[in-house]
Structure 1
Amino acid sequence: MTTKNVIARACNCCNAAMDLDRRRTLGGVLGVTLSSLFACPAFASGHGERNPRPSVGDRLAFMLGANENRTIRPDDVELGSTPILAYPKDPDSGEVMASRANILAVVRLDPDSLSSEVAEHAVDGVVAYSALCTHNGCPVTVRDPTKTKLVCNCHGSVFDPANRGVVLDGPAYRRLPMLPLRLESGELVVAAPFDGPIGPPT
Structure 2
Amino acid sequence: MDRGERRAQGLDRRSVVMGAVACCAAGHAAWAGPEELLPQKGDRLVLGDGAKAGQPVTLDGLPIGGDLVEAVAVDPQGVKREGSRFAKIILVRVAPEQVAEDQRAHAVDGVLALSAICTHQGCTISGWSHETRRLSCFCHHSEFLPAEGGRVAKGPARKRLPVLPLAKGEGGTLMVAGGFTTKPGPGPA
TM-score (norm 1): 0.70
Unaligned runs of 5+ in 1: 1-41, 198-202
- Amino acid of the structure 1 residue aligned with 2:86: A
CA offset at residue 101 of structure 1? 1.1
CA change 1:46–1:160 in 2 (3 A) is: farther
The equivalent of 2:181 in structure 1 is: 195
- Amino acid of the structure 1 residue aligned with 2:64: L
Indicate whether 1:86 and 2:71 are aligned: yes
- Amino acid of the structure 2 residue aligned with 1:196: T
The 3-state SS of whatever aligns with 2:71 is strand
CA contact (8 A) 2:66 2:130 kept: no
CA offset at residue 48 of structure 1? 5.3
The 3-state SS of whatever aligns with 2:147 is helix
CA contact (8 A) 2:142 2:157 kept: yes
| Correspondence 1:160-199 to 2 at 5 A | 160-185=145-170, 186-196=172-182
Indicate whether 1:111 and 2:96 are aligned: yes
CA change 1:154–1:90 in 2 (3 A) is: same
RMSD value, Cα: 2.3
2:55 to 53, 70, 74: 70
The 3-state SS of whatever aligns with 1:101 is helix
Distance 1:51 1:136 in 2: 23
Q: Which runs of 4+ in 1 moved over 2 A?
A: 44-50
CA contact (8 A) 2:48 2:54 kept: yes
The 3-state SS of whatever aligns with 1:120 is helix
CA offset at residue 113 of structure 1? 0.9
CA offset at residue 77 of structure 1? 1.1
Q: Aligned residue pairs: how many?
A: 155
The equivalent of 2:11 in structure 1 is: none
Q: Which has the larger radius of gyration?
A: 2
User: How much identity, in percent, do the aligned residues show?
Assistant: 37
CA change 1:73–1:147 in 2 (3 A) is: farther
The 3-state SS of whatever aligns with 1:51 is helix
1:18-60 deviation line (CA, Å, top 9, x unaligned): xxxxxxxxxxxxxxxxxxxxxxxx8x79975871111000011
CA offset at residue 62 of structure 1? 0.9
2:80 to 96, 120, 124: 96
The 3-state SS of whatever aligns with 1:129 is strand
TM-score (norm 2): 0.75
The equivalent of 2:16 in structure 1 is: none
- Amino acid of the structure 2 residue aligned with 1:68: A
| Correspondence 1:18-57 to 2 at 5 A | 51-57=36-42
Worse-superposed segment, 166-175 or 78-87? 78-87
| Correspondence 1:121-160 to 2 at 5 A | 121-144=106-129, 146-160=131-145
Distance 1:45 1:81 in 2: 38
Unaligned runs of 5+ in 2: 1-24, 184-189
1:100-130 deviation line (CA, Å, top 9, x unaligned): 1111110101111111121111111001000
